[in-house]
Amino acid sequence: MSIWLFHNTYKPLPDILSGLPMKSNIVVSGSEDFVKFYSHLPRTSPLKEQLNNAMNLLKKNPSTGNRIRTKMWPTKYIKKYNINNLYRYSLGSDWRMIYTILGQRDRLNCVILEVLNHRIYDNLFGYKTS
């Protein structure tokens, strides 16, 4: 499986999940912001390993994360990506992966929009940080 850029700028990331049995009707892709973030992580980074595991889970079950209520959606995601659903997946205690699911004719596309540390996530979604 390859990770692709979202919004008409398609470039694959390294084939990080090759050899794993996956459902062929579910694709995982990433926004430009995510691809930049992911590609700058060191190969041995624990966060990169957590992201690889999360992408593997999304290939098996796209709704594995927690659905975010519509009233909590940041305006930037609505304007930039024209989303109609939004999910978060916790990557340990410090990081959150934000993604949306697109229904396409012959498959589902899980598009990872961003990976945020906990403080930025809380600020973006209006939570009070302790």
Per-residue pLDDT tens over the stretch 38-86: 999 999 999 999 999 999 999 999 989 999 999 999 999 999 999 999 9
Can you give the pLDDT at residue 9? Answer: 34
Can you give the pLDDT at residue 29? Answer: 93
Nearest CA-CA partner of 21 in 49, 59, 70: 59
Can you give the pLDDT at residue 10? Answer: 32
Locate the domains of the chain by residue range: 26-124
Inter-residue contact 24 to 102 (CB < 8 Å): no
**Which CATH fold topology does 26-124 show?**
YaeB-like fold (3.30.2310)
Inter-residue contact 87 to 67 (CB < 8 Å): yes
Using 50, 70 and 90 to split pLDDT, how confident is the model at 128? confident
Using 50, 70 and 90 to split pLDDT, how confident is the model at 1? very low
Using 50, 70 and 90 to split pLDDT, how confident is the model at 20? very low
- pTM assigned to the model: 0.80
Can you give the pLDDT at residue 121? Answer: 94
Half-sphere exposure of 30 (CA within 13 A, CB side): 22
What is the per-residue pLDDT across 82-117, written as a single tens digit (0 to 9) for each?
Answer: 999 999 999 988 999 999 999 878 888 999 999 999
> How many CB atoms within 10 Å of residue 69?
8
